[in-house]
């Protein structure tokens, strides 16, 4: 660390060292040599996990060589306040210089480093833009010194088909090592108190002890039922199979079989046996994430479980230091257990931005649990499956696919014709052996398919014949129409994404409490698919609008979940209107096409046949042509990152008037946006389609309180029953969206 240069008296000629950072207050400086050595050490450590420590070291030593430019030194002296009168002569950009030096020093190896060095602040470039920048020259005032290095790309297990699908991930992973090392070393100098909050978590061995203690207590107090015996059996198989080396595994357990605890038991023991670093659980729905994270925090402690998704609200944590630690850990996933969304995981794996890619190196040498894997979007299935293959072979990741409805991901995956197909994963090892017949032994529901489509009134009338019943439909409008026709006796609730997250959570809690504490009260719930997977509720009767087999079985999993009845009933019905075009119709048609034989709908054989039918209706497993952008020498990082979005967001977020949301809005207007305030407001926001947004604007309901932040203050536009409502006072009808 350098000595402090006096404010205003110092000029660039008077400072004998190259400055990398200046800390306020006090104007203490960090030398560029110290910074680069610190980054090199960290990047080397990170890259060592996948056999490329030397690459990380060299990139760390080169990444800020451009700061030796006279113009950059003038810039930092002026902007930091060391000498505000300093004149800056010329271009002070610095990131590109390291890439040019790498090309000169390592003509045979630089290509894997260039983009990471060039984009370590801005992001990875498309190939054409990168090549243009590489035409620049090394500034004359930058010293090019030889670096002793011997580069080897680790010996990779042969992929199923071609190596090119690995290269973009290899470059992005090296980029992750560099940018996280750069952030961390900079933070250690600039914000030492914040830096000290990182790390210091319990070991996986300690977490294993806590889990075994929890499970022992759980079993001691559990009644001796067939369901609990099966749950113990599943856990025993997970323990037995955990000793195997990193590979692709599946855990196919019907609803109620204790899949969550069994999978984490397997993961911890498997990680310890194979010296893996952490467990990452990726889940498609925030409702399941919240529930799973809560269970895991109860077992392992809040300080060991990171919940990372857009709607997470850490204001509930009393420990401010712990809250800050969690916020910091979302930047780089330096936690023993991470629970996150599929969107967060995959859009980071295909991102080009330093803030998103920073966490990627911590995926190496981890256990990755893909929960509810049947929800992976077919439109991106090829790049996703290829990524699983690369993570396992190149980065030592062990992948576990868990679900009650296991999709087909191995072998040749065929689409509508021979040109729409690709090679899936090699063999996936199922943890539960053939012959255990869990789907039959855990059968608690009878599926009943209605043959004749019905109207809203007829469905509402059928629901009303049952005192405890859940109805799941495909669209918000269908939920509203059926709910509006029900008699509001007892407890009658509606659930859809037109309710803000806080409202949804409160309503689900009401349902759970009512089911638990009342035995005679009528409870009827009409919901969209948000309640379908992972929400721990138990109704004796479920109605499910026609859909794909996986969705039907997920709905059936909310029926007689705890086996209190001899057999529950799930009715699958059609409405006298066509399903929305696209994927929803494809999945339903795939189920309807399974007419070649009589299936046990709960069996793995039925699920395999269903997914083959579904895939045969897919026109592309790579609709954004990610393969053409990334699987080649001229990698288009930026374009691919822009194209790879699992969810096409054609909505606008609007803050609604619910509970204390308007108090938070006033704070927002008064104080401006902050991380904690925007997180709090996200609990009171609804994503509105553009057509509905237009109606709200026409009704005079929308106020833009800050640029791009929209609010509906009028309480009449938000119903305690159904959420966001558009009351257009100039039109005769009321539209519930």
Domain boundaries, the chain: 19-195, 204-437, 444-600, 651-736
Which backbone phi and psi does 734 adopt, to 5 degrees?
A: -110, 130
Q: Are 280 and 335 in contact (CB under 8 A)?
A: no
Torsion of CA 439, 444, 450, 455, to 10 degrees: -120
Topology of the domain covering 204-437:
Rossmann fold (3.40.50)
* SS3 label, residue 200: coil
pLDDT digit string, tens, across residues 680-714: 898 899 988 888 888 888 888 999 999 889 999 99
Which H or E run includes 196?
none
Distance in angstroms (rounded) separating the CA atoms of residues 127 and 425? 29
**CATH of the domain spanning 444-600, picked from 3.40.50.300, 2.60.260.20, 3.40.50.1370, 3.20.20.80:** 3.40.50.300
Gap between the Cα atoms of 211 and 238, Å rounded: 14
Q: What is the pLDDT of residue 309?
A: 72
List pLDDT tens digits, range 375-417: 899 999 999 999 999 999 999 999 999 988 888 899 889 898 8
Q: What mean pLDDT comes out for the span 666-680?
A: 87
CATH topology of 204-437 equal to that of 444-600?
yes
> What pLDDT sits at residue 691?
84
CA distances for 466 relative to 519, 528, 570, angstroms: 14, 19, 12
Residue pair 29/5 in contact (Cβ under 8 Å)? The answer is yes
Report which of 64, 330, 279, 50 is spatially closest to residue 174, judged by C-alpha positions: 50
Closest Cα partner for 124 from 175, 170, 169?
175
* Other Cβ atoms within 10 Å of 440 Cβ, number: 11
Using one digit for the tens of pLDDT, what is the confidence trace for 521-549?
A: 899 999 998 886 667 788 999 999 999 99
Encode 8-58 in three state secondary structure.
Answer: CCCCCCCCCCCEEEEECCCCEEEEHHHHHHHHHHHHHHHHHHHCCHHHHHH
User: At how many degrees (to 10) do helices 95-105 and 111-118 cross?
Assistant: 170
β-strands 367-371, 279-283 pairing: parallel
- pLDDT-derived band at 734, boundaries 50, 70, 90: very low
From CA 192, how far away is CA 189, in angstroms rounded?
6
Indicate the helix (H) or strand (E) that contains 304: none
Could you give the 3-state DSSP secondary structure of residue 218?
helix
| Cα 689 to Cα 306: distance, rounded to the nearest angstrom | 31
Query: What pLDDT band is residue 679 in, cutting at 50, 70 and 90?
Result: confident
Residues 6+ apart with CB under 8 A from 425: 160, 248, 385, 388, 389, 409, 410
pLDDT band at 737 (very low <50, low <70, confident <90, very high): very low
Distance CA 728, CA 702 (A): 12
Q: How far is CA 159 from CA 164, 165, 428, in A?
A: 10, 9, 15
**For residues 421 and 622, what is the distance between their CA atoms, to the nearest angstrom?**
10
At 646, is the pLDDT very low, low, confident or very high (cuts 50, 70, 90)? confident
What is the average pLDDT across 193-198?
Answer: 88
506/705 Cα distance (integer angstroms):
27
Distance (Å, whole) CA 293 – CA 295: 5
- pLDDT attached to residue 617: 92
Q: What is the pLDDT of residues 201-259, one digit of tens each?
A: 999 999 999 999 999 999 998 888 888 899 999 999 999 999 999 999 999 998 888 89
Mean pLDDT, the chain, integer: 89
Strands 734-736 and 568-573: unpaired
Q: Which two tokens stand for residue 360?
A: 């990627």
Whether the per-residue pLDDT at 725 is higher than 90: the answer is no
Determine how β-strand 421-423 pairs with β-strand 19-23: unpaired
């Amino acid at each position: 660390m350098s000595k402090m240069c006096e404010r205003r008296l110092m000029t660039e000629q008077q400072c004998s060292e190259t400055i990398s950072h200046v800390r306020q207050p006090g104007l203490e400086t960090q030398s560029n040599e110290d910074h680069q050595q610190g980054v090199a050490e960290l990047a080397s450590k990170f890259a060592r996990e996948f056999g490329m420590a030397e690459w990380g070291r060299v990139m760390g030593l080169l990444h800020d060589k451009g700061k030796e430019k006279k113009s950059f030194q003038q810039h930092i002296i002026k902007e930091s306040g060391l000498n505000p009168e300093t004149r800056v002569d010329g271009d002070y950009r610095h990131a590109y210089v390291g890439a040019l030096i790498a090309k000169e020093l390592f003509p045979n190896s630089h290509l894997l480093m260039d983009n990471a060095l060039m984009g370590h602040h801005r992001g990875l470039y498309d190939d054409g833009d990168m090549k243009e920048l590489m035409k620049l020259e090394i500034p004359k005032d930058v010293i090019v010194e030889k670096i002793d290095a011997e580069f080897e790309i680790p010996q990779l297990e042969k992929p199923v088909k071609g190596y090119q699908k690995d290269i973009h991930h290899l470059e992005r992973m090296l980029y992750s090592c560099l940018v996280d090392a750069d952030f961390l070393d900079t933070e250690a100098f600039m914000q030492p108190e914040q830096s000290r909050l990182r790390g210091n978590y319990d070991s996986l061995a300690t977490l294993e002890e806590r889990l075994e203690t929890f499970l022992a207590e759980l079993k001691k107090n559990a009644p001796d039922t067939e369901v609990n015996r099966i749950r113990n059996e599943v856990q025993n198989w997970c323990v037995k199979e955990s000793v195997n080396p990193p590979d692709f595994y599946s855990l196919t357990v019907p609803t109620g079989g204790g899949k969550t605890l069994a999978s984490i038991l397997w993961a911890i023991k498997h990680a310890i046996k194979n010296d893996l670093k952490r467990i990452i659980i990726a889940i498609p729905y925030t409702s399941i994430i919240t529930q799973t994270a809560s269970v895991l925090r109860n077992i392992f402690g809040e300080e060991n479980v990171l919940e990372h998704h857009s709607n997470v609200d850490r204001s509930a944590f009393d420990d401010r230091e712990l809250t800050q630690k969690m916020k910091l850990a979302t930047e780089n996933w330096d936690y023993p257990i991470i629970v996150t969304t599929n969107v967060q995981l995959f859009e980071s794996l295909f991102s080009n931005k330093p803030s998103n890619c920073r966490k990627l190196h911590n995926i190496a040498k981890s256990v990755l649990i893909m929960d509810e894997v049947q929800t992976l979007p077919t439109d991106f299935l090829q790049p996703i499956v290829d990524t699983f293959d690369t993570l396992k072979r190149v980065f030592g990741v062990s992948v576990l696919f868990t679900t009650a409805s296991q999709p087909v991901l191995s072998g040749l995956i065929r689409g509508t014709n021979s040109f729409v197909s690709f090679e899936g994963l090699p063999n996936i090892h199922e943890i539960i052996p053939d012959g255990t017949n869990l789907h039959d032994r855990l059968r608690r529901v009878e599926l009943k398919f209605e043959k004749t489509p019905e109207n809203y009134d007829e469905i509402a009338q059928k629901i009303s014949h049952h005192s405890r019943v859940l109805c799941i439909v495909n669209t918000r409008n269908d939920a509203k129409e059926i709910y509006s026709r029900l008699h509001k006796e007892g407890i009658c609730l509606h659930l859809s994404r037109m309710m803000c997250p806080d409202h949804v959570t409160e309503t689900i809690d009401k349902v759970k409490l009512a089911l638990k504490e009342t035995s005679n009260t009528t409870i009827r719930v009409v919901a969209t698919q948000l309640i379908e997977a992972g929400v721990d509720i138990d109704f004796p009767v479920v109605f499910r609008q026609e859909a794909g087999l996986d969705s039907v079985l997920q709905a059936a999993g909310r029926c007689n979940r705890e086996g209190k009845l001899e057999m529950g009933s799930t009715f699958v019905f059609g409405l006298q209107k066509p399903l929305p075009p696209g994927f929803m119709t494809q999945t339903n048609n795939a189920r309807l096409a399974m007419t070649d034989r009589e299936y046990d709908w709960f069996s793995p054989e039925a699920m395999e046949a269903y997914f083959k039918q579904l895939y045969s209706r897919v026109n592309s497993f790579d609709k954004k042509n990610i393969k053409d952008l990334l699987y080649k020498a001229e990698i288009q990082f930026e374009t691919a990152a822009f194209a790879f979005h699992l969810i096409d967001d054609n909505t606008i977020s609007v803050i609604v008037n619910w509970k204390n949301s308007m108090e938070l809005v006033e704070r927002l207007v008064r104080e401006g946006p902050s991380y904690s305030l925007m997180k709090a407001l996200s609990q009171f926001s609804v994503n509105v389609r553009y057509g509905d947004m237009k109606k709200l604007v026409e009704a005079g309901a929308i106020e833009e309180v800050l640029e791009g932040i929209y609010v509906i203050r009028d309480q009449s536009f938000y119903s305690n029953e159904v959420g966001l409502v558009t009351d257009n006072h100039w039109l005769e009808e009321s539209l519930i969206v």
